Amino acid sequence: MTMETISANRSFGGWHKQYTHQSEVLGCNMRFAVYMPPQAEEGETVPVVYWLSGLTCSDENFMQKAGAHRVAAELGVAIVAPDTSPRGEGVPDDPEGAYDFGLGAGFYVNATQEPWAKHYQMYDYIVNELPALVKSELPVSDSWSISGHSMGGHGALMIALRNPGMFCSASAFSPICNPMEVPWGQKALGNYLGDDREQWRQYDTCELIRTAREVPPILVDQGSDDSFLAEQLQPERLVRAVASSGLDFELRMQPGYDHSYYFIASFIEEHLRFHAEHLAAK
Amino acid sequence: MTMETISANRSFGGWHKQYTHQSEVLGCNMRFAVYMPPQAEEGETVPVVYWLSGLTCSDENFMQKAGAHRVAAELGVAIVAPDTSPRGEGVPDDPEGAYDFGLGAGFYVNATQEPWAKHYQMYDYIVNELPALVKSELPVSDSWSISGHSMGGHGALMIALRNPGMFCSASAFSPICNPMEVPWGQKALGNYLGDDREQWRQYDTCELIRTAREVPPILVDQGSDDSFLAEQLQPERLVRAVASSGLDFELRMQPGYDHSYYFIASFIEEHLRFHAEHLAAK
């Protein structure tokens, strides 16, 4: 496996870089971004926070808008931000170009339905191919955490729940926590996986929580003025699913905040400190 | 004068808002952005840092990418980010759509040449119309500072030098500090002001420094790996102009940093603390 550097910016004493590589899993060329803190230049391996972005995003949104580099530099933590779907010639998109399906909306699942199955294998990409590439090419340790926003919050929680022991902690901003029961999730899961709702359960955080084991500590922030709160996010479903589980779980409603990166920026420091604490304890 | 709120995001306990208003000076509808810190909700008036963005930018780039809200919230400072040129139907653009002239590239001058003179009056807009509007509509005090990046660094320094007493401090990232002598500046000044180079001097920081009075403290950061350093920025010209002036001036070369917002984000905290110190001393 090899990857190519396509941009590099000095940032808070470390480096923000974008890489491309040929993804075997997705059958296309993929781009991802890494923030590598100054400690990595001093010969250390550093722990990693994987960040999964939301609908319409690429590897760039979080790196440009979250203000996370400052804290990552202080804590000595790398951040890896993949793209949100396969891209490029031959990769099919929503037939009507909708923002919530197809390009920019891979939903971190392995599609089983045509024409999506050939390329839309984002679950395997995030869980297997990308971490292996990062580990082989960059000075990172085996301590990983995962976080994300909206569709990426769904991805982060779902992937942490399905892979016991892989992550020291998981967090999410405004996650689509019960995709089986909301329009965004129903559209994506129905198209990528087909009509059999039994197949959807493996990608639904609220479903997975009921049977999960070895669940890492979880922190969730949700803005109370998020315009998607009532229809798409419904965090009360997550609270109910967790209620009798005994999990190390906290959901914080943040008064007045919306679904934007201004919300993420306001609380990313607390998420990174939460992850750093659990990464250090490994 | 009235203005209309077109977006509002809670951010670090304060508010990021975008406003539109009809600009008499520019003859078009203009948008600008304000970060108002939490202190303003507690009934205080707060000092203002005006931020002038660079080529191709709008009111959005700094607010989304600089990570400045956190520090502004802590310091109790408002940030006002105007657009970089007039916009809208009837506002002429570079005939070839170049990125360095016309829309997104007003250069903070009052154009005298047609077809630009009717709308391209950005100097008057920034110095007079916008601050009066902000003062009349928002809970701000009379303590103001000014900063900017690249074309906006030129604007910030030039406007501070031309308006003694208006600003408590001025700063710049990667400023076009001697526009008369570099291609970006020559194109803009030649087109907006005509061929008479005498007319250009009033908008050239290095020229203004020679005769300036009541100059506020100035801080400049410049990345050493900025791809525009040698051709367009040439900070050594600024150092020479300041050398025997006795001004309170510091230029810091930042090793490895480029022209991007990652550079701005890395040092904006130091600029805001620099401004806050001088704003408080007024």
Mean pLDDT, chain A, rounded, equals 97
Catalytic-role residue among A11, A23, A150, A174 = A150
Determine whether the interchain pair B64/A257 forms a contact, defined as Cβ–Cβ distance below 8 Å: no
* Each residue's pLDDT tens digit, A171-195: 999 999 999 999 999 999 999 999 9
* CA-based nearest distance A11→chain B, Å: 5
Give kind and range of the element (H or E) at residue A33.
strand A28-36
Q: Which of B9, B10, B261 sits opposite A64 (nearest CB)?
A: B261
What integer pLDDT is reported at residue B158 of this predicted model?
A: 98
pLDDT band at residue B244 under the 50/70/90 scheme: confident
Pairing of strands B14-23, B4-11: antiparallel
Question: How large is the average pLDDT for residues A7-11?
Answer: 98
Determine whether the interchain pair B223/A10 forms a contact, defined as Cβ–Cβ distance below 8 Å: yes
Answer yes or no: A150 catalytic. yes
Sheet holding A46-52, edge to edge: A4-11, A14-23, A28-36, A78-82, A46-52, A140-149, A170-173, A218-223, A249-254
Q: What percent of chain B has pLDDT over 70?
A: 100
What integer pLDDT is reported at residue A146 of this predicted model?
A: 98
- Report the complex ipTM: 0.95
Provide CB contacts within 8 A for A96, sequence distance 6+: none
What integer pLDDT is reported at residue B42 of this predicted model?
A: 86
Q: Which of A258, A265, A269 sits opposite B69 (nearest CB)?
A: A265
Catalytic-role residue among B154, B204, B226, B275 = B226
Determine whether the interchain pair A69/B262 forms a contact, defined as Cβ–Cβ distance below 8 Å: yes
* Each residue's pLDDT tens digit, A224-235: 999 999 999 999
Question: How large is the average pLDDT for residues A244-259?
Answer: 95
Question: How large is the average pLDDT for residues B33-45?
Answer: 94
What integer pLDDT is reported at residue A1 of this predicted model?
A: 57
Indicate whether A91 pLDDT > 80: yes
Nearest to A50 by CA among A191, A159, A203: A159
Q: Which residues of A touch B16 (CB under 8 A)?
A: 262
Nearest to A142 by CA among A78, A234, A196: A78
What integer pLDDT is reported at residue A168 of this predicted model?
A: 98
Task: Round to whole Å and give the CA distance between A182 and B174.
Answer: 47
Provide CB contacts within 8 A for B168, sequence distance 6+: B47, B143, B144, B145, B216, B275, B278, B279, B281, B282
Question: How large is the average pLDDT for residues A64-86?
Answer: 98
* Each residue's pLDDT tens digit, B89-110: 999 999 999 999 999 999 999 9
Q: Which residues of B touch A265 (CB under 8 A)?
A: 11-12, 67, 69-70
What integer pLDDT is reported at residue A244 of this predicted model?
A: 81
Residues of B with CB under 8 A from a CB of A: 9-13, 16, 64-65, 67, 69-70, 223, 225, 254, 256-258, 260-263, 265-266, 269
Determine whether the interchain pair B262/A9 forms a contact, defined as Cβ–Cβ distance below 8 Å: yes
CB-based burial of residue B219 (10 Å sphere; 0-12 exposed, 13-18 middle, 19+ buried)? buried
Task: Round to whole Å and give the CA distance between B64 and B50.
Answer: 16
Residue with tokens 């704003």: B279
Determine whether the interchain pair A10/B64 forms a contact, defined as Cβ–Cβ distance below 8 Å: no
* Pair B35, B51: CB distance under 8 Å: no
Question: How large is the average pLDDT for residues B52-61?
Answer: 98
Indicate whether B135 pLDDT > 70: yes
Largest interatomic CA distance in chain B: 52
What integer pLDDT is reported at residue A282 of this predicted model?
A: 79
